[in-house]
Every structure is written in structure tokens, then in C-alpha cells.
Structure 1
């Protein structure tokens, strides 16, 4: 049975009422994003609209400061030092974002090298993926009470709370970002969300980068099956970190990079509403050419409705995608009115009759989704045809987009 204990006044808030596993962002201004290819932000959780930035989230450009704190429990003696466990996450997570952002984001994380003792056993908190709100609130109450006297959280944009991986009550499936419906105040800090890490060793690949993506207002792109059984990767397969942290091509979609401020309008080809246009797509994961951004197109966007678009980008074994098993022009649909985990992005399978990368891909049916030279895709619903031309000297592809 869980023990009673006192908590500092700074932490005595109505935390259970504030706590939520999701937080609905405020609706956009109602003004359309720049036509013809931007989409308006909606009230959907982690909306992929681009006309405004949701100020409840830190914009990941420049230096973002994070702190990683380590929690131990009376029912287990930690086997490793905090510094050793931190090596499972850094510098890999910082390197991922440095590569994905073209050097436009520096994730600077301070490691607090001591175990901070929680007042109750790990088993008492009932840690699990679908955590009862009361027990989850107890865990956060206690964690913040332990942390508040030791660390000034106001100095950081991101707070990572890492539970002792060897504690018996720690469930690795429970790792997630916990959002508050309203910010809570701890000392001088206003806390909107915490990254709670419950990974066993070794942790899942790219797990912290995935959770950090949520801190930057990116949605889950996986499909959560009913009752948790079935295929989680039907929406995007291997093609984005927010779909699967185990994917062969975990770089973020170009649309995400545009939303986060890592790609500018000069890097986006907005396809006109009718007629035919030609575009050259440079590999998404290659460094940006700052000397000639207008000639450095990373995605072509075809607006197909008020809140939806078809996007084309070139994916090659470069950077975060070095483990990719296929290459070509990847097509996907974006909707800004669809919430996180409900399918805001759907990859178009350019080869629906075949599969690829068996034994390594999280979803072989989409592993060979990109189109190669000489191949095309026609969308009967919108009348859009995308034809892939020759490979360029820089490793990208020429494409032709025609609209009836």
C-alpha cells in the first residue's frame, strides 16, 4: 500500500486535475497559411498547420536547454551512475536533431549526476503505458517535490525525468511526454510538460528523440490498433521518427522541418493549382546550400484542399536516413485538422503490389514506397500526377507535377 507523506507547498497544486496525456492546442487565427501550399493550424492536438506557431511549445531553433534528472526508489539500489545511463541518450539525441535541423537546433542538456530518492517504492506508483491518472499524479507530485529544492527548473526548456531502469516497478512501455492542461508553478518555473523516461537498458533506439519531438509540437504518426494488438506502422512505416523510433529512415518529414523552422519558404516548391510544373528535389537529409537556397528545393507541395496537401520529397541514405534500404521520391498526404495518432500524415505507397526490406523494416509494405526515375503516381481523387525524371548530379531527382 502506498505511503502518505508531506509535499512542499510549491508542489501542492491540483495536479491530478491539471494532468493529461494530451493537451489540446489553441485554434489557429483562422487566416489561411500562405497559398498555394501552406495549411492553417487547427485545434487538433499537435496540428500540422503552418500559419501560426503554438506558443505553448518551445520553437526548436537556436539553443534549447534541457536538464536530465534521475529518480531512484527505496525498493531498488541503482546499479549504474546517472552519467552512465545518460550515455544511452546523449550525444545521440543531440546529434539526431543537429543533423535533422541542418545545424539550426542545438539541444544542450545538463546531466544532474546524482540519484534523487523518491519517497515510495517503484511498485507503489503502478507505472504502465495507460497509467491511472491518480497514480501518475502521485508520481509527478513526488518527483517534483524531490527536484524542486535541488534544481531551478526555470533555467530549462525541457525536463527529462529518468527512472532507475533496474527498479522492479518500472515499465518501459510507459515512457512518454506528460502534458498539463494548465501550467504548474515550481519556484520560478512554469511547467507545461515533462518527459518521463522509464526505459530499461538498453533503451529503445531513438526513443528520447521521439519524445523530444512531442515537446516541439510534433504528432505521433503511428496507428494505435484497437486493444493494442495489430500493426502500429500502417500510416508512415519507416519514414519518420514520429511514426516509429525503430524505422530505417527516421529522419523527420520535410513538412515537419518546415513547421519547425529548419526549412524556409525558399526550400519549398509550391505547385500552382492547375497545369504542369517542373521541379528539382534535393535529398532531404543532405546539408542545406545556404549560398543558393532558392535552388535548394527540399519538398514540393500540392495543396489539395483547405486543410490537406500532397507532398513530394527525395529520400536517400544520407544523414539520419543512412540505414535506408530503398531510395527515391517519397509522396505523402498531410492534413492539418487531424490529431496526433489519428493519421495526420499518410505515406503514399508507390509500389502497392510489392514490399521491401524484410527482416529490418517495421512495415515492409511501405518500405519500397518511393518512386524511382521513370515511375509515376496518379491521384484519381485530386487529378494530380507526379512523374519522376532523371537523377541529378547532386543525388536528387527531377519531377513533373501535372494537375487536370
Structure 2
């Protein structure tokens, strides 16, 4: 964008080193190791830091040393860089060599993001059907609004949810704001977006990793578990590990509290827990939580349910796009049109719907196939141009809660009665 500014931070080295060792520097959670020799000056150590950072092409920054002050600059301009952290000694046993100290300043000052309008215009309408979108505009309401409108707001057949298009996507932002203030901030963002079924957040409060990296990994898991060809049906993300994502400190993690995690799921931020030395996902959700929709009827809350709806919709589209449904003639009874293999009647449509229902039930996308079979309707269009179908389904549940009560006694009376 015109006038955009790259964020910058710094690593200020004090020396000389009085022993050999290694610096363990983390750029947005990515480890950079820098060897240090005894008697190395601040300038020499700064040069080594510059070289180590610049040689790692996967880092989002470049480095430039001047007499032990290493300026770290984001490769991309805009606010993306303002979420890049610089930390040290995050791993077990890591320490700075004697005689050396590091003053670390996170990147700031990034300004002016590009407008995403150009990516959301034209007649393409997600022709390639990208189903997951991670981006760097964490919490920027204007861009979240544009994505939501383009995809389709609320429970409506608009945007990419239009029944003539039906190529919707889901998007997510990462959230690393720490402590109770972080919980309050993400809740405020979510509560301003109650009809947004496109966006949602994943919260790892206090994590040094970049929010966009966290969101990308989260969506990759969601997409893999939700794909119709996953081989094991659709499942939720509970217990899935965010690989190489580091947790915040205990004081930072509002997600350690069950009530806070439960509230976050309901307003649209997927919480995480730090367990067994790794960051694990809980339920994957969107911001969608209109006041007028009861929790038990909120089909757009859980991303697993959205995946089921997409898979069902795509299965309909694929089935009725087959050659056997192209160029058909509509008759009252196909048995009376035996000489025309393109003849189709209402019962032919119903037969396909029943077969589809059986497959949906087999995949575990729906709770019960019988309900759909008993309540579906197929009617002829009065113009004779096709069929109108109403196909109700009750999606399978998104499990994970086992609310058990153990009753005990010390008396043998019940046994001896």
C-alpha cells in the first residue's frame, strides 16, 4: 500500500563475553541460535546475530548491526510486523553466556495495510473453491467485515453461500493478547460480529508466535479434519496439537480457566490449553452467535458443523451434475418411458436422495438418516423445468463433554439387603 511503513525492533548487545556459549533468540517463536566465543565484543556478537537472522530465509525479518545494536526490520510493510516478538532463552536449560546481556525490543511502528478489495472483486466468486483463508490482518474490523460480506452474512443464501454459487470459505485470525485484558478484548471483537459465520479467532494468550502463523496452522487442522475425502469423516479439533507454537506464561493464559474457555467457544474464539508440554486446540468455532439463535440451534458455531454442511452441499452438487442428470426429460413415471434412458420422475430424485442420505449417515455427517428420509420432499416445478427439493438434516453432534457423576458409599447395607 502507498505510504506503508515496515515495523522495526532491536537487539542491543552488551559485552564482552567472559565464556563461550550460545545465544538463543526467538523471532516470533522461531529459534535462532548464535555461537559466542569467549572475549567476543558486543560488535562481534552483533555481527553474528545479524548473520544468523539474515541466513534464515524463513524468518519474517532482516537484521542490521551497528556496534552491537542490531536493528530488526520486518520484510513486509504494514501492521503485520507489529506482532513480531523478540525473546530469548525460552527453552529448558537455555541461558546467555556470562558477560553478555541482551536488551530486546519487539517490533513496532508498522503502518498502512493494503486494501483487500481487489481480491474480493470480479466475477470469479472463489472459482477454485479455496475453503480456508488465513491472513495477517488480525482484529482489523474493516477487513473482517469485507470477508464476511463477500462470503455471506448470517443464515442467508448470499455471497458465496448463494445456491447458484456455493463455494464458501472460512477464515480465522490468531489472538495472542495476554491475561484478562486479552479475554476482554477478543470478546469485544466477537460480540461486535454476532452474524459473522466466516471469521473466528484462535487464542493462545501470551504466545510469542505470530498470530497469522497460529491462524494458518489452526485452519490447516480444521480443513484436514473437515474435508469430505479425509477418510474418517468430519471431526472437531479438540486435542489437536499446534506444532511449534509456544505458550504464554501461566499468568498470561486466561485459557487455563474452564469457564473462560467455555465462554470463548460461545462467543467465537477457539481456546487452547497447554498440556503435556504442547499447545492443544479445543473446539474450533466462528464468531457467529446471534442473540436470536439458541445455542442448540447454532449451526454455524462449530467449524466441524460448517464442514458437514459444505460436504453435504457439495455431494448434492456432484451427484446431480453427473451425466445421468444432464439433458433429462421429466415424466410422471419412468417405468412408462422405458425406451428413454433420460427419463426421470420424482421417485428417481428421491432414490438418489436416499442413497446420499445413506452415505451421509455412514460418514457420520448427520445424526440420523431416517429423519431425513421421512421428511424430505420432492415436487415438480410448475414450469416443467425440474424439481424442487427440501432436504432436512440434523447434523451429528460435536462431542467432547463427558459429564459423569460417581456415587459412593461405605456401608454394606445395599449389598446385604
| TM-score for both structures, normalised by structure 1 | 0.30
Larger proportion of strand: 1
Higher relative contact order (CA closer than 8 Å, sequence separation 6+): 1
Larger radius of gyration: 2
Larger proportion of helix: 2
